[in-house]
Amino acid sequence: MKEVKPSICRFCHAQCAILVEMEDGKAVKVYGDKDNPLYHGYTCIKGRELPYYHDADERLIRSMKRQPDGTHAPIGSEDAMDEIAAKLKQLIDEHGPRSVAIYIGTHGFNNFATEMISRAFMNAIGSPMVFTSVTIDQPGKAVSAALHGTWMGGGTNIDEADAWMLVGTNPIVSQFGGMPVNPARQIAKAKKRGAKLVVIDPRQTDVAKQADIHLAPKPGNDPTVLAGLLRVIFKEGLYDQEFCTKHVNGFAELREAVEPFTPELVAERADIPADKLVEAARTYAKANRAGVTAGTGPNMAGYGNLTEYLVMSLMSVCGHWRREGETVPNPGVLINRIPPTEAAIPPSPAWGFGEKLRVRNLTDTAAGLPTAAAAEEILMDGPGQVKALINLGGNPMMAWPDQILAHEAMKKLELLVCIDPLYTATVELADYVIAPKLTFEVAGTTALQEFLGAGGPGVGYQQPYAQYCDKLQEPPEGADVIEDWELFYGLAKRLGIELHVSSKSFLDPKAAKANGTTLDMNNKPTGEEFWDILMKGSPIPLDEVKKHPYGKVFDVPETRVAPTPEGWEGRLDIGNDVLMKELEEVHSNIVHEREKDYEFRMISRRLSDIHNSSWHTNTKLTRKFKYNPAFMNPEDAQRVGVKSGDVIKITSQRASILGVVEATAEVRTGSIAMSHSWGVNPDDPRDDDVRNYGGNTGRLTDTTKDFDPHTGIPRMSSIPVNIERVDAA
Ligand X SMILES: Nc1nc2c(c(=O)[nH]1)N[C@H]1C(S)=C(S)[C@@H](COP(=O)(O)OP(=O)(O)OC[C@H]3O[C@@H](n4cnc5c(=O)[nH]c(N)nc54)[C@H](O)[C@@H]3O)O[C@H]1N2
User: Contacts by 376-380 with C-beta closer than 8 Å and gap 24+?
Assistant: 376/405, 376/409, 376/703, 376/704, 377/101, 377/129, 378/101, 378/409, 378/410, 378/412, 378/413, 379/405, 379/408, 379/409, 379/412
| Residue 606 interacts with ligand X (CB under 6 A): yes or no | yes
CA 71/CA 657 separation, integer angstroms:
27
Q: How far is the CB of 188 from Mo ion (least distance, A)?
A: 26
| Residue 179 interacts with ligand SF4 (CB under 6 A): yes or no | no
Q: How far is the CB of 455 from ligand SF4 (least distance, A)?
A: 19
AA letter at 238: L
- Please list, residue by residue across 603-635, b when 16 or more beta carbons sit within 10 angstroms of its beta carbon and e when fewer do: bbbbbbbbbbbbbbebeebbeebbbbbbbbbee
Selected from 15, 127, 365, 395, the binder of ligand X by CB under 6 A is: 395
Total residues at interface with ligand SF4 (CB under 6 A): 11
> What x-and-dash track marks residues 583-622 binding ligand SF4 by CB under 6 A?
----------------------------------------
Alpha-helix runs per DSSP H in 24-76: 45-48, 50-55
CA 107/CA 97 separation, integer angstroms:
25
Residue 7 burial (CB count, 10 A): 27
Q: State how far the alpha carbon of 267 is from the alpha carbons of 225, 261, 283, 668, in Å.
A: 8, 10, 18, 15
| Residue 16 interacts with ligand SF4 (CB under 6 A): yes or no | yes
Write out the binding residues for ligand X, residues 642-701 only, by CB under 6 A: 673, 676-677, 697-698
Side-chain-side CA neighbours of 598 within 13 Å: the count stands at 22
| Residue 12 interacts with ligand SF4 (CB under 6 A): yes or no | yes
**In this structure, what is the dihedral angle of CA atoms 58, 61, 65, 66, given to the nearest 10 degrees?**
0
Alpha-helix runs per DSSP H in 193-240: 222-235
Q: How far is the CB of 9 from ligand SF4 (least distance, A)?
A: 3
| Contact yes or no for 468/442 (Cβ under 8 A) | no
- Please list, residue by residue across 472-493, b when 16 or more beta carbons sit within 10 angstroms of its beta carbon and e when fewer do: bbebeeeebbbbbbbbbbbbbb
> What x-and-dash track marks residues 126-165 binding ligand SF4 by CB under 6 A?
----------------------------------------
> What x-and-dash track marks residues 5-34 binding ligand X by CB under 6 A?
-------x----------------------
Single out the residue of 203, 206, 214 nearest to residue 176, CA to CA. Answer: 206
Burial of 689 (0-12, 13-18, 19+ CB in 10 A): middle
- 101 φ/ψ sector (left φ>0, alpha ψ -120 to 50, else beta): beta
| Residue 321 interacts with ligand X (CB under 6 A): yes or no | no
* Partner whose binding site includes residue 9, from ligand X, ligand SF4, Mo ion, none (CB under 5 to 8 Å by kind): ligand SF4
Q: Is 225 helix (H, G, I), strand (E, B) or coil?
A: helix
Selected from 7, 46, 199, 331, the binder of ligand SF4 by CB under 6 A is: 46
Report the residue number, 388 or 438, with the smaller CB distance to ligand X.
438
Stretch that binds ligand SF4, among 14-22, 225-233, 305-313, 706-714 (CB under 6 A): 14-22
Stretch that binds ligand X, among 67-75, 551-559, 578-586, 601-609 (CB under 6 A): 601-609
Q: How far is the CB of 43 from ligand SF4 (least distance, A)?
A: 4
Q: Judging by DSSP bridges, how do beta strands 72-75 and 63-66 pair with one another?
A: antiparallel
Single out the residue of 619, 673, 716 nearest to residue 173, CA to CA. Answer: 673
* Partner whose binding site includes residue 394, from Mo ion, ligand SF4, ligand X, none (CB under 5 to 8 Å by kind): ligand X
| Residue 17 interacts with ligand SF4 (CB under 6 A): yes or no | no
* Partner whose binding site includes residue 15, from Mo ion, ligand X, ligand SF4, none (CB under 5 to 8 Å by kind): ligand SF4
Q: Nearest residue to ligand X, using CB?
A: 297
What residues contact 506, with CB distance under 8 A and at least 6 apart? 335, 336, 512, 515, 537
| Residue 43 interacts with ligand SF4 (CB under 6 A): yes or no | yes
Report the residue number, 564 or 612, with the smaller CB distance to ligand SF4.
612
* Partner whose binding site includes residue 43, from ligand SF4, ligand X, Mo ion, none (CB under 5 to 8 Å by kind): ligand SF4
Write out the binding residues for ligand X, residues 187-216 only, by CB under 6 A: 200-203, 205
| Residue 144 interacts with ligand X (CB under 6 A): yes or no | no
Selected from 15, 150, 307, 365, the binder of ligand SF4 by CB under 6 A is: 15
Q: State how far the alpha carbon of 335 is from the alpha carbons of 111, 344, 715, in Å.
A: 16, 20, 34
**Residues in touch with ligand SF4 (CB under 6 A):** 9, 11-12, 14-16, 43-44, 46-47, 175
Residues that bind ligand X (CB under 6 A): 12, 105-107, 111, 133, 136-137, 167-171, 173-177, 200-203, 205, 219-220, 222, 295-298, 300-301, 393-396, 398-399, 419-422, 424, 436, 438, 484, 603-608, 610-614, 673, 676-677, 697-698, 716-718
